[in-house]
Amino acid sequence: MSKSSNAGGIGDLFQEPEGYFQKEKEPTQVQHRTLDGQTLTLHLVGQNPLWGHLLWQAGRIISDYLEEHKQSLIHGKTVLELGAGAGLPSLITAINGAKQVIVTDYPDAELIENLRLNIKDCSLLPQPVNIHAEGYLWGADPSSLRAYLPPADKEAGFDLLILADLLFNHSEHSKLLLSIQRTLKKDADSQALVFFTPYRPWLLEKDLAFFDLARDGGFQVEKILETVMDKVMFEEDRGDELLRRTVFGYRLRLVEDSLSFS
């Protein structure tokens, strides 16, 4: 007996309702205007459970901050970005004179392929290209990332770490901090920049708990920026609208005479 001859019968139990399966979103593109007037076009993956299909507020703001302070933060520096998404901040550092840039995200083939596509299609990058994309799990051994560094830096680590809009993932805070400890060069000039927006304002204290963890882990924590965006990123979200439009920027530096990390 066919389903068509059994309308309303048992056969319909296995017939999904109309519209049950949502069509997957196609990859998109987004543009970013640099402070010197250049336009960067970035590829974004389609709908992705790891949130790589969006260009986040903190990614834009930290990119502007890096460009504003390129003489001190970027020129001649080695850079590592964690949880990069489309990799905008990393591209900004590579364009503006970084010695070597490693841009990473969760080792999902689609995410890493998209990062490499953004590198390939960026006409503003120097030649030879000074930026590479790799998959990396937070908290894991970073030897594969250090391998890209010049010989003198392989053991020392990176001058600058970039973390943009990662703090919402509260269960991963300790792994994030461990990655910072394992990759940041241990000298007074090295730093990790952590920028975020509290998209869920009622969980702001949990976002900020990362910085308590960092202090306990041997870092000096300094708030360096607070910028209010023109509009919220997610209109349908609830909670304080001003907070949902605000990007907070923090700098982490190793406390002098802090313990070595393994």
Write the pLDDT tens digit of every residue in 240-252.
999 999 999 999 9
Residue 145 domain-assigned (yes or no) = yes
Residue 213 domain-assigned (yes or no) = yes
pLDDT of residue 1 exceeding 60, the answer is no
Lowest mean pLDDT among 45-54, 72-81, 91-100, 177-186: 45-54
The whole model's pTM is what? 0.87
Task: Name the pLDDT band for 13 (thresholds 50, 70, 90).
Answer: very low
Residue 49 domain-assigned (yes or no) = no
Cβ pair 113, 91 in contact under 8 A: no
Q: Is 83 annotated as a binding residue?
A: yes
CATH, residue 76? 3.40.50.150
CA angle (143, 156, 133) in 5-degree steps: 45
Q: Is 164 annotated as a binding residue?
A: yes
Per-residue confidence (pLDDT) for residue 257, from 0 to 100: 65
pLDDT of residue 45 exceeding 70, the answer is yes
CA atoms within 13 A on the CB side of 51: 11
Return mean pLDDT, the chain.
Answer: 88
Residue 7 domain-assigned (yes or no) = no
Write the pLDDT tens digit of every residue in 95-130.
999 999 999 999 999 999 999 999 999 999 999 999
Residue 225 domain-assigned (yes or no) = yes
Per-residue confidence (pLDDT) for residue 10, from 0 to 100: 42
Question: What is the percent of the chain with per-residue pLDDT over 90, rounded to a whole number?
Answer: 77
Q: Is 138 annotated as a binding residue?
A: yes
Domain count, the chain: 1
What sign for the dihedral angle of Cα 145, 151, 154, 160?
Answer: negative
Per-residue confidence (pLDDT) for residue 52, from 0 to 100: 55
Write the pLDDT tens digit of every residue in 165-224.
999 999 999 999 999 999 999 999 999 999 999 999 999 999 999 999 999 999 999 999
Residue 71 domain-assigned (yes or no) = yes
Per-residue confidence (pLDDT) for residue 235, from 0 to 100: 83
Tell me the C-alpha distance between 106 and 172, whole Å.
12
Rg (alpha carbons) of the chain, rounded to whole number: 21
Domain that holds residue 240: 29-44+55-254
Task: Name the pLDDT band for 16 (thresholds 50, 70, 90).
Answer: very low
Residue 157 domain-assigned (yes or no) = yes
Residue 81 domain-assigned (yes or no) = yes
pLDDT of residue 12 exceeding 70, the answer is no
Per-residue confidence (pLDDT) for residue 95, from 0 to 100: 98
Q: Is 192 annotated as a binding residue?
A: no
Tokens of 180: 């910072």
Q: Which has the higher per-residue pLDDT, 236 or 176? A: 176
Q: Is 105 annotated as a binding residue?
A: yes
pLDDT of residue 23 exceeding 50, the answer is no
